[in-house]
C-alpha cells in the first residue's frame, strides 16, 4: 500500500518558538524529520508550512514544500489543504508525521503507512505503546487509548482509562491485571476522511479532552490502532528537550 507523508511545520510554537529551524548539530530539526521520512516507503514527502523561513530552509536542503493558509486551527487541517493542492484521490493514504520528531523510527512510519490495509473498514490508523509506569498513566499529557479485540480504538483520553475501580480507589499505582496503552501522535488517513474532517464541527468530547481524534470517532469513523513494533523516542517540545537531543546527537557523531 503506497502512501504520502505530510509534515506540518509551524514557526510559532508556544513553548519553543522557531522549533522547525532549531539547530540539531549542524542540521535543522525539519531537515532531520524530512530525511527520516524520506527513508521510509513513502512515495512522496512534503513539508506543509505557512512560513517563508521554513519554506526557504526546506528548499535549500532539496525537500518538497507546500505553502498553506496561516489560519488553520490544527495540523490536520493543514495536511488536508496539502492533499487538495496535490490533487490526491479520495482513496489515497496520507501519513501525518509531526515536525518535532527527528528520531521517529523509519519502521514506525512504514507501519502506520500500511496499517489501513489491515482494516479496510477503518478511515484512520494510528499507533500506541504499552504503559509500564504509573506516573505516565496518570500524566494528562500522555494520551491513553482503549481498543477492542480488532485493534479499533474505543476511546482516547488524558485520564487513566479504563478506570480500575479497585486499584485506583487506594492510590495511583499500575494494576497488575490490566494493560494500559499510550497513544502515539502519528496518523494515517484516507484522504476522503480528511476532506470530511475539515467540515465537521468540533465534538464535545474533543473540546473537553483537547484531542482532535475524538472528532473522527464522533462522526462514526473507525480508527485502527496498532501497537508500535519498536520503541518510539519522544518528540521535542521544550528547550530542555532540544538540549537533550543535541547532546544525544553530539555523542553519536
Q: How far is CA 156 from CA 51, 115, 215, in A?
A: 32, 19, 11
Question: What pLDDT score does 74 carry?
Answer: 86
What is the per-residue pLDDT for 172? 81
CATH topology of domain 4-247: Spore Coat Polysaccharide Biosynthesis Protein SpsA; Chain A (3.90.550)
Pull the grid cell for residue 126.
Answer: 494510528
Question: Exposure of 127 by Cβ count < 10 A (0-12 exposed, 13-18 middle, 19+ buried)?
Answer: buried
Q: State the average pLDDT over residues 150-173.
A: 91
Distance spanning both ends of the chain, measured CA to CA: 35
pLDDT at 29 over 90: yes
- Tell me the pLDDT band of 130, cut-offs 50, 70 and 90: very high
CB 125 within 8 A of CB 163: no
The per-residue pLDDT for range 48-87, each reduced to its tens digit, is: 999 999 999 999 999 999 999 999 888 899 999 999 999 9
For the chain, the structural domain boundaries read: 4-247
User: HSE of 10 in the Cβ direction (CA atoms, 13 Å)?
Assistant: 18
| Integer Cα distance of 65 and 74 in angstroms | 18
- Phi then psi for residue 108, to 5 deg, are -70, -40
Q: Which of 29-33, 108-112, 241-245 is predicted with the least confidence, judged by mean pLDDT?
A: 241-245
- pTM, rounded to two decimals: 0.93
Which of 189, 190, 188, 186 has the alpha carbon at shortest distance from 230? 186
Query: For the segment 171-230, what is each residue's pLDDT rounded down to a tens digit?
Result: 788 998 999 999 999 999 999 999 999 999 999 999 999 999 999 999 999 999 999 999
What is the per-residue pLDDT for 55? 97
Amino acid at each position: 500500500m503506497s502512501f504520502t507523508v505530510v509534515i506540518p511545520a509551524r514557526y510559532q510554537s508556544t513553548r519553543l518558538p522557531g522549533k522547525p529551524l532549531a539547530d540539531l548539530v549542524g542540521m535543522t530539526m525539519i531537515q532531520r524529520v524530512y530525511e527520516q521520512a524520506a527513508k521510509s516507503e513513502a512515495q512522496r514527502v512534503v513539508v506543509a508550512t505557512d512560513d517563508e523561513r521554513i519554506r526557504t530552509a526546506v528548499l535549500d536542503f532539496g525537500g518538497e514544500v507546500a505553502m498553506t493558509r496561516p489560519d488553520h486551527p490544527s495540523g490536520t487541517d493543514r495536511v488536508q489543504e496539502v492533499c487538495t493542492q496535490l490533487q490526491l484521490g479520495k482513496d489515497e493514504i496520507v501519513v501525518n508525521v509531526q515536525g518535532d520528531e527527528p528520531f521517529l523510527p523509519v519502521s514506525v512510519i512504514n507501519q502506520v503507512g500500511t496499517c489501513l490495509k489491515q482494516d479496510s473498514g477503518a478511515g484512520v490508523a494510528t499507533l500506541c505503546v504499552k504503559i509500564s509506569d504509573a506516573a505516565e498513566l496518570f500524566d494528562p499529557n500522555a494520551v491513553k487509548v482503549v481498543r477492542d479485540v480488532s485493534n479499533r480504538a474505543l476511546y482516547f483520553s488524558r485520564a487513566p482509562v479504563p478506570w480500575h475501580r479497585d486499584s485506583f480507589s487506594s492510590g495511583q499505582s499500575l494494576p497488575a491485571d490490566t494493560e494500559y496503552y499510550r497513544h502515539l501522535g502519528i496518523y494515517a488517513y484516507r484522504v476522503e476522511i480528511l476532506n470530511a474532517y475539515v467540515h465537521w464541527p468540533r465534538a464535545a468530547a474533543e473540546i473537553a479532552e483537547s484531542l482532535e481524534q475524538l472528532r473522527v470517532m464522533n462522526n462514526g469513523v473507525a480508527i485502527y490502532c496498532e501497537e508500535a513494533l519498536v520503541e518510539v523516542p519522544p518528540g521535542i517540545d521544550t528547550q530542555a528537550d532540544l538540549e537533550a537531543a543535541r547532546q544525544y546527537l553530539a555523542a553519536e557523531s
